[in-house]
Amino acid sequence: MGPRRGASQLCCAFVDGSRYARAENDDGSVLHEAIDPDGADDGWQRRQELIEQSLAEVLADCGVPWTFRYLAGRADRALTHLARAVDAAGFVVGTRSPGAGARVREAIEGSVAVRLTHHQHRPVMVVPLHVVDWKAPLLG
Q: How far apart are CA 47 and CA 27, in angstroms?
A: 21
**Residue of higher predicted confidence among 73 and 120:** 73
**Residue of higher predicted confidence among 118 and 70:** 70
Q: How far apart are CA 130 and CA 118, in angstroms?
A: 25
> Tens digit of pLDDT for each residue in 79-114?
999 999 999 999 888 876 666 665 665 555 567 888
Tell me: pLDDT of 65 over 80. Answer: yes
The contacts of residue 3 (CB under 8 Å, 6+ apart) are: none
